[in-house]
Structure 1
Amino acid sequence: MTFKISNKVAWVGKIDWEIRDYHGKEYSTHKGTSYNSYLVRDEKTVLIDTVWQPFGKEFVSNLKKEIDLNKIDYIIANHSEVDHSGALPELMREIPNTPIYCTKNGAKFLKAHYHKNWNFIEVKTGDTLDLGENKLVFLEARMLHWPDSMFTYLTGENILFSNDAFGQHYASELMYNDKVDNAELYQESIKYYANILTPFNPLVVKKIDEILSMNLPLEMICPSHGIIWRNNPLQIADKYLEWAKNYKENQVTIIYDTMWNATRTMAEAISNGIKEVNKDVTIKIYNSSNNDKNDIVTEVFKSKMVLVGSSTINKGVLSSTAAILEMIKGLGFKGKKGAAFGSYGWSGESVKLITEELKKAGFETINDGIREMWNPDDDAIVRCKDFGKSVGEIIGYTIQ
């Protein structure tokens, strides 16, 4: 499937309706994804990015139906990750001498991926490529989200090809932000940001401010996954600026895992306590062994306070708790508060261990947590509710 998105640009990518896991098993794609590749026809013809390797042969076959491959003058590799560059080996077998424009790191990474010494042309911010009537302008976007990443801007058509930035894992044949369900679109966008771009918040702000300061006319933002932003395209840049500044909503997320439901009982009692003193706060409760980890991380991203609970097992925590804490730590959230809770039978180390991990993750822990032995009785339930009340009072004083 190909279609024109402007006078000079056609989408020539691939919609992947069936994929449900990404980056190995590290990212869930409940709504599929797309690999967006763009063909620019001016006096010179340019292909911007390709698709994932499993669709390489299909991609090249479809591209041949759209254009004689020998008429492609240049290839732009905005990012070397294999979901964007995976069709290059198949394509370069057909047109092996075609110049590939990329950053210095892009050339280095593509050589490491494919072990081919293709005709790489290294570019940096401000470099241009004359196509005839219009030009391509290259903008390095280091660490958004790899060291090799860059954006490419097409003058005349006023399109920013942003690769992974501003994208979502969201399959839709409608393709444009003014046609799809915007609730779905923004949910997939914030999930993408929370799980992939959070560690690079300062760089996101710097790069967007840099782009805005250039006062480029902008008709569309075309990412390499998901939906094209053509109706008020800068709305997603505005959201990125909001999300990049240690984003928080008036929300508490409670994450737990449990062996015989004692820690679940504690989680629910704590939630009830919070609500008694703070009726306006949103509370979301997730069993980390039963819920998608990326969906949980998205809720952590939105929260002012995160409570993490686990039963004690073998002087440690349950495996799903350990995994979600490791994910949270790696994302480097800032400006969030946290606390631990959990049940135990005899040794009871889980609460102390969770508290330590929350501190390592950069959370301000509000206390040493709460632990209860075996199945909570009525007195234990009261203690958990009181713990929740203290949480509710603390976040009540921190509403922005």
Structure 2
Amino acid sequence: MNRLLWRLLPLTLAALLLASALVYLVFARLYGDPLEDIARKQAAGQIFLLEQYIDQAPGDEWLARLNKVREVSAQRYELLPLAQVLPTLDERRQEALQTGALVLDIGAKALLRRVDIRGLRYVDSEAEVLRISGLPIDVADVWRREALRLLLVALVLLLPLVWWSRAHWRGLLALSQTVQDWAAGRLHARAVRPVSASLQPLAEGMNQMAARLQGLLDGRRDLLHAVSHELRTPIARLGFGLALLREAPSAEQRDARLAAMEGDLDELQALVTELLGYSRLEQTPLQLADVDLQTLLQQAAATWPVPPAAAALDLAIDASLGSARADARQLARLLDNLLSNARKYAVQQVRLSAAPLPSGGWRLRVEDDGPGIPAADAQRVFEPFVRLQRDVDASLAGHGLGLAIVARIVAAHGGQLRLEASRLGGACFVAEWPAEPPLVVH
């Protein structure tokens, strides 16, 4: 059942009635009561007889001509004291009667008018009112016509309302079914609505939410698998070292075993620390402030080791860089991770450059002259625990979380992190983010 229609139907009819009443009141206020115009037309014969026959009599014959009309007319003609009639009228009608105008009493089917204002027709005629009752006024028929007109208008309005509410209700049922699929764990389900449908923006937002939830759950699952694999190695080494420690015949061998186990513990602690930092990025909102990018970059460059301990660092900062609306602590971590990654693989040179974007925002580039990254692995390097070069050179330390943390920081600022070919021959990481980061961490 289309419950939406049954909820809108009484509201639509009530709004239509309210609009009709409002139109009546406005027109009555501006142009006079339309019912009086209708009643005046219905009583046009009696008004014509009064104005064109009775009132055309000479002053001393007016009363005699009125009596002749009384004898043949189906209406009742009465002369009433003005003082008696005035209290029965509202202020507007009293004023009209005082000026000698015709006053209609629709409910009583009568009209009122003073005999005259100056008392010229008979003695004290200015103090009397002529009341003609029994007029052929039937406003009930007018109301029936208006009701029929209102009904026809309502029917015409209800046709598109029925069509729209039916389509809208079916769309809501489809969205409800999609939500039930999500509640049952089927996050791959998507809300499909035509582009022209009114619910399409809602369906698009729901699909984006479902895709993000599915991505988060998939990421958590993959992260859990990767963590279990990464933890297994140092724990296994610790167990093996402990077994060897029990069998060590000398103090020197025991000290060597203990030193190796301490190294494994340090590696395990470093891994846990990086995991905590990676997971907190998703849950911690940005602490936005105006950050002087030039100062931040210079501070990061100041900690760079002096060659030959590391490759040389070239710093290229655009003079119009200015300040950025960002999280200073997260940007500092982004720089540290990118520079550490470049220092690890560079041979002789690393270049750090920054410039504002033409459309607003900022671009940061870190490139090196190292071995580079194959194009096929351009996206994998941003996944947690991916270490391409360590598969070749086991001496390269790290757990594969540095670039994943950088990617999450850039995404939290509403930007993108991508890998390009470096002009130095190695890898080039480019981070771009807008002038105003979003309020929600992505």
TM-score, normalised via structure 2 length: 0.20
Larger Rg: 2
Higher normalized strand content (fraction of residues): 1
- TM-score scaled by length of structure 1: 0.22
Kindly indicate which of the two structures has a greater share of residues assigned to helix: 2
